[in-house]
């Protein structure tokens, strides 16, 4: 589980964390299944010293929360966090976006995924055991998020269903990770409309059929990995007609 990081955060806060934010994080912990003890440090009085939590030195506000699995188990054991995201996260009003602009997230009072931020740029849910149909997952992303999202990482989960057509609506997407899931059916031609896409990972699924020639329009594509699927057909020059920055292709 990953929630937007901030480059300005620090783990050595000289100011103690806000009590309401500490309470909010404890409510989050209560709703999560933590088989690896990743949240074992979430017990002391100062939440700014908890693992994965970073605070602003001057104010003590939580500005970074990173809970992605740092060391996934090679033997498939469940080391990831799973469970329910608590609405208490709405108390963390100072979480910031990554990058040079460091814009503050504007929170809504409706704690569904698509309401988390108006300017969400990175959504990282790597190694979290998500097992929903991916089409239902897409319904959680509002129009604002779809317009601004640049990195979507859903790799190494258990997402099922057909390859998502709705991803073609993420016009500013630069990096897409869907590898190591249970996706089936065809690769939707709508992915070929992502003019900003540079990195595309679809390996280790059950995708079938041929690759649409629309992928030839991905002029910014650098890396494209679709190995370990059930694809068929021919990949020709048409699939690379507008690609000028290409560095790596892995089909099998």
Q: Domain boundaries in the chain?
A: 130-252
Q: How far is CA 184 from CA 96, 197, 203, 218, in A?
A: 35, 22, 12, 22
* pTM over cut 0.85: no
Q: Which of 5-19, 79-93, 95-109 has the lowest mean pLDDT?
A: 95-109
pLDDT value for 99: 43
**Top mean-pLDDT range of 50-54, 80-84, 131-135:** 50-54
Strands ordered across the beta sheet of 62-66: 53-55, 62-66, 2-3, 122-124, 151-153, 175-177, 199-201, 223-225, 248-250
Q: What is the pLDDT of residues 133-179, one digit of tens each?
A: 888 887 777 777 788 888 898 999 889 988 788 888 898 999 999 99
CATH classification for the domain delimited by 130-252, as one of 3.80.10.10, 3.20.20.120, 1.10.10.10, 3.40.50.1860: 3.80.10.10
Structure tokens at 165: 């057509």
Q: What is the mean pLDDT of the chain?
A: 77
pLDDT value for 25: 93
């Amino acid at each position: 589980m990953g929630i937007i990081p901030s480059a300005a955060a620090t783990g050595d806060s000289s100011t103690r964390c806000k009590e309401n934010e500490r309470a909010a994080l404890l409510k989050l912990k209560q709703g999560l299944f933590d088989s690896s003890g990743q949240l074992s440090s979430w017990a002391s009085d100062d939440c700014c010293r908890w693992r994965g939590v970073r605070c602003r030195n001057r104010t003590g506000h939580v500005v970074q929360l990173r809970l992605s699995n740092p060391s996934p188990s090679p033997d498939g054991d469940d080391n990831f966090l799973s469970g329910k995201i608590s609405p208490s996260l709405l108390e963390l009003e100072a979480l910031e976006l990554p990058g040079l602009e460091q814009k503050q997230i504007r929170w809504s009072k409706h704690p569904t995924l698509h309401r988390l931020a108006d300017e969400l740029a990175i959504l990282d849910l790597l190694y979290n055991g998500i097992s929903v149909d991916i089409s239902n997952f897409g319904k959680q992303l509002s129009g604002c998020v779809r317009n601004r999202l640049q990195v979507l990482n859903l790799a190494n989960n258990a997402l099922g269903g057909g390859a998502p057509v709705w991803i073609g609506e993420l016009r500013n997407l630069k990096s897409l990770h869907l590898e190591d899931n249970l996706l089936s059916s065809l690769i939707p031609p709508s992915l070929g409309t992502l003019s900003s896409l540079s990195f595309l990972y679809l390996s280790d699924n059950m995708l079938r059929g041929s690759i649409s020639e629309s992928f030839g329009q991905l002029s910014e594509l650098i890396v494209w990995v679709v190995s370990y699927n059930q694809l068929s057909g021919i990949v020709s020059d048409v699939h690379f007609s507008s690609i000028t920055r290409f560095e790596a292709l892995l089909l099998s």
